[in-house]
């Protein structure tokens, strides 16, 4: 005995309405069903490839964790820095690269020491651009009177020394400590 029920469903691939003859029908046509099957199969293959890639990365990372020294390529993979950055750090004497004949070797201890110094330097550093407060600043006019300089001379000194200026309302402020250092004046606490 066949069923004569008709159910309005939405295709799970193209999201169009269609009339289904069974309660288990998911797609409006054979082409939508096959396209959905192909898409699902492709997604599974991508997922398997991603899992394999992650497994290789983690095993490679585990391999690098066991080494006491690295080649440049291994150091790039271990730190995430570029080759150029590693060579630049070596030129600045912040990271030691040892030449062994034609090979360049970086010790793990040197890398970890450099990374540790980066972390501690970032924690101890105070934001140099933070506003010191109006009570700790001179306006440009006050600075001209206090240090007996012309506007152009003060402007040129501030620009050449790279001193930070703060615009508050209609006045431009400069930190007292910066100007006191610039003009060799004892700080007034």
| CA–CA distance, 13 with 40 (Å, rounded to integer) | 11
Q: Which domains does the chain have, with CATH numbers?
A: 68-124 (3.90.105), 134-182 (1.10.10)
- Report how far apart the first and last C-alpha atoms of the chain are (Å, whole number): 100
Are the beta carbons of 129 and 162 closer than 8 angstroms?
Answer: no
pLDDT of residue 9: 94
Q: How many CA atoms lie within 13 A of 48 on its CB side?
A: 6
| CA–CA distance, 72 with 163 (Å, rounded to integer) | 40
pLDDT of residue 80: 87
What's the rounded mean pLDDT across residues 51-69?
85
pLDDT of 1 higher than 70 = no
pLDDT of residue 18: 95
pLDDT of residue 129: 62
pLDDT of residue 43: 96
| CA–CA distance, 78 with 75 (Å, rounded to integer) | 5
Name the pTM for this structure: 0.41
Mean pLDDT of the chain: 87
Band (182; pLDDT cuts 50, 70, 90): confident
Strand partners, 69: 107
Q: What is the per-residue pLDDT across 141-177, written as a single tens digit (0 to 9) for each?
A: 999 998 999 989 998 998 988 888 888 888 889 988 8
Q: What is the per-residue pLDDT across 80-96, written as a single tens digit (0 to 9) for each?
A: 899 999 999 999 888 89
The single residue listed with the structure tokens 């140099």 is: 128
Which has more confidence, 2 or 36? 36
Q: What is the per-residue pLDDT across 10-57, written as a single tens digit (0 to 9) for each?
A: 999 999 999 999 989 999 999 999 999 999 999 999 999 999 998 888
């Amino acid at each position: 005995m066949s069923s004569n029920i008709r159910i309005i469903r939405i295709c799970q691939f193209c999201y169009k309405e269609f009339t289904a003859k069974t309660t288990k029908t998911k797609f409006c046509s054979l082409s939508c069903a096959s396209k959905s099957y192909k898409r699902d199969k492709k997604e599974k293959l991508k997922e398997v490839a991603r899992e394999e890639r992650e497994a290789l990365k983690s095993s490679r990372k585990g391999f690098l964790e066991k080494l006491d020294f690295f080649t440049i390529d291994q150091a790039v993979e271990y730190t995430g820095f570029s080759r150029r950055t590693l060579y630049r750090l070596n030129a600045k004497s912040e990271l030691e690269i040892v030449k062994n004949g034609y090979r360049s070797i970086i010790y793990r201890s040197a890398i970890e020491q450099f990374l540790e110094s980066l972390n501690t330097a970032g924690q101890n550093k105070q934001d140099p651009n933070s506003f010191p407060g109006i009570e700790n600043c001179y306006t440009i006019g006050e600075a001209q009177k206090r240090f007996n300089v012309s506007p152009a001379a003060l402007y040129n000194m501030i620009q050449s020394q790279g001193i930070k200026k703060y615009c508050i309302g209609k006045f431009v402020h400069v930190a007292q400590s910066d100007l006191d250092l610039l003009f060799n004046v004892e700080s007034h606490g």
